[in-house]
Amino acid sequence: MTLTAISHDVDAQRREAVAVLIMRLTLGIFLLLWSVGKIVTPGATVRIVAHFYGFALPEAAPLLIGLAELALSLALLAGFARRLVYGLAIVLHATSTFASWRQLLDPSGIARPGDDLFLAGVPVLGAFIALYLLRGFDAYSLDEWLRTRRV
């Protein structure tokens, strides 16, 4: 079986572009919610960082991190600077996923209520990686819109 990167079927190209759009929007909303959480409940962010990363954040850090993550989320939602933004989203989510490695690998911990939610981070990481790999099919992105408007 041979796979081709470009479909000559217009309907298939449209389906590919819509699939990538859906992935981008849902991942963007996912990241957006995390960024808003850091802004709205900075104390929770301080506790999470201390627990999972082992260091104390300065008081202003959650707001700054949340604002930076908010900018990244909005760029992701828009499909702006796809290579950079989608790559940064992978790094951001991979960092948080790998920080919860104990919850992912401890079979007795997964049985505790709420710890099974950490498992959801693994397919989300896969979706971020897939989005990065499929960014060329993201026909409904701001990047693509700007590219087609150039004179």
pLDDT in tens, 59-110: 889 999 999 999 999 999 999 999 999 999 999 999 998 888 777 777 566 5
At 14, is the pLDDT very low, low, confident or very high (cuts 50, 70, 90)?
very high
So what's the pLDDT on residue 117? Answer: 73
- Note the pTM of the prediction, 2 decimals: 0.85
In one letter, which amino acid is 120? A
Identify the helix (H) or strand (E) that includes residue 98: helix 82-99
Contact between residue 144 and residue 138 where contact means Cβ atoms under 8 Å apart? yes
CA–CA distance, 137 with 139 (Å, rounded to integer): 6
Q: Could you tell me the pLDDT band of residue 113, with boundaries at 50, 70 and 90?
A: low
Choice between 102 and 44, residue whose per-residue pLDDT is larger = 44
Instruction: Mean pLDDT check: name the lowest of 62-76, 113-127, 133-147.
Output: 113-127
The overall average pLDDT reported for the chain is: 88
